[in-house]
Amino acid sequence: MKVLKCHVGIGQKVEAEALVAKDNFSARYDLDRIKGVFSRPDHALAGQSYDGRILVFDTAKGGVASAWMLHEMKGRGIAPAAILFNRANTILAQGAALADMTMCDRFEDGDVTDLIRTGDRIVVDPEAGEVTILNRD
């Protein structure tokens, strides 16, 4: 088990499997929100399902459209369990709050895309500003 410290985040405490990419994230341009998969062909996670996973990225892209799309995804029941960033933008943070989607950023231990691996089982506790990797020594 390994605990990572980050900035206090948004949303509820969640546990799920991580899906990690050294890429950026746009809910508008990167996703097929009906099928629940990454659809932009040149995205590092193209073809993979994001539903129920904790997504881990470098940063957020996009503006207001990406923010309201998080809300739409959550209402549809096909959404990530949480999103972690090295650095989130203000608009996407507002969208996560509107969608009641868990989000954290600014990790003290370094690049979050290096600290967490795809398939890791993790717990995100935004109120504590902690992410726990359960399957690590």
Q: Does domain 2-133 have CATH number 3.30.56.10?
A: no
Helix (H) or strand (E) holding 37: strand 37-38
User: 3-state DSSP call for residue 132?
Assistant: strand
DSSP per-residue string spanning 53-106: -EEEEEEB---HHHHHHHHHHHHHT---SEEEEEE--HHHHHHHHHHT-EEE--
pTM of the predicted protein model: 0.95
pLDDT tens for 11-69 read 999 999 999 999 999 888 899 999 999 999 999 999 999 999 999 999 988 778 888 88
Rounded distance, CA 54 to CA 9, Å?
14
pLDDT tens for 65-116 read 888 889 899 999 999 999 999 999 988 898 899 999 999 999 999 999 999 9
Q: What is the pLDDT of residue 62?
A: 73
